[in-house]
C-alpha cells in the first residue's frame, strides 16, 4: 500500500512539474479540446440552409465565418508549429456544402493539435511572422489563437441564437 501511494505521489508531482515547466503551452493545449468541441458542435448545429445567413448586410455569412475559422486555425497553427500552412486541393468557398466545411474545420483543429505538440515555453520569445508580414514573439501567435477561438465561438453562438438555436454551451446537459 505504501509503495502504491509513493508511486501515485511521484506520478502526481511529476505531472505537476511537467505542467509548471511549460505553463503557457500546457494551458493552450488544454484549451484546444474544449474549443474544438464547442466550435465544431456549433457549426454542426447550424442547419445547412442557414450557412448563407448573415445578421446584417455588413456582417459575414455563417459559411464565411466557418471559412474564416479554418483559415485562422491553419495560419496560426502553421506559424506555431513552424510547419507549412495546410492548403486544401481545391480552395474552399463559403458556399461549399456544410459537410465539406465541417470536415475542413475538424481538419484544421487536428492540424492545430499537431502544431501544438511541436512547441514548448522555451519558444515563446522566438520571433515569428504574424498577420500581414508583421513580426512578433511566438507568445503572440498562441494568445491570438486562443483569443480567436473565443471570438469565433461567440460569433457562432450569436448566429445560432438569431436563428432560434441554442449554442452548445447553452444546451441542457444530457
For 79-128, what is each residue's pLDDT tens digit? 999 999 988 878 999 999 999 999 999 999 999 999 999 999 999 999 99
Higher pLDDT, 128 or 2: 128
Q: Which fold has domain 22-170?
A: 1.20.120
Strands 127-129 and 135-137: antiparallel
> At residue 137, what are phi and psi to the nearest 5 degrees?
-75, 155
Predicted confidence (pLDDT) at residue 2 exceeds the cutoff of 90 = no
List the domain boundaries for the chain: 22-170
DSSP 8-state assignment for residue 169: G
Buried b (16+ CB within 10 A) or exposed e, 4-30: eeeeeeeeeeeeeeeeeebebbbebbe
Which grid coordinates are listed for 8?
A: 501515485
Amino acid at each position: 500500500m505504501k509503495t502504491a501511494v509513493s508511486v501515485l505521489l511521484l506520478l502526481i508531482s511529476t505531472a505537476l512539474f511537467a505542467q509548471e515547466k511549460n505553463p503557457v503551452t500546457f494551458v493552450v493545449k488544454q484549451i484546444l479540446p474544449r474549443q474544438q468541441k464547442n466550435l465544431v458542435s456549433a457549426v454542426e448545429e447550424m442547419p445547412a440552409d442557414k450557412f448563407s445567413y448573415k445578421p446584417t448586410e455588413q456582417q459575414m455569412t455563417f459559411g464565411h465565418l466557418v471559412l474564416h475559422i479554418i483559415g485562422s486555425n491553419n495560419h496560426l497553427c502553421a506559424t506555431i508549429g513552424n510547419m507549412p500552412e495546410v492548403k486544401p486541393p481545391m480552395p474552399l468557398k463559403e458556399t461549399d456544402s456544410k459537410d465539406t466545411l465541417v470536415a475542413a474545420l475538424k481538419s484544421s483543429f487536428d492540424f492545430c493539435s499537431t502544431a501544438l505538440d511541436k512547441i514548448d515555453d522555451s519558444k515563446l520569445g522566438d520571433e515569428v511572422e504574424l498577420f500581414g508580414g508583421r513580426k512578433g514573439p511566438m507568445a503572440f501567435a498562441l494568445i491570438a489563437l486562443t483569443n480567436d477561438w473565443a471570438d469565433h465561438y461567440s460569433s457562432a453562438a450569436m448566429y445560432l441564437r438569431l436563428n432560434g438555436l441554442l449554442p452548445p454551451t447553452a444546451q441542457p446537459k444530457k
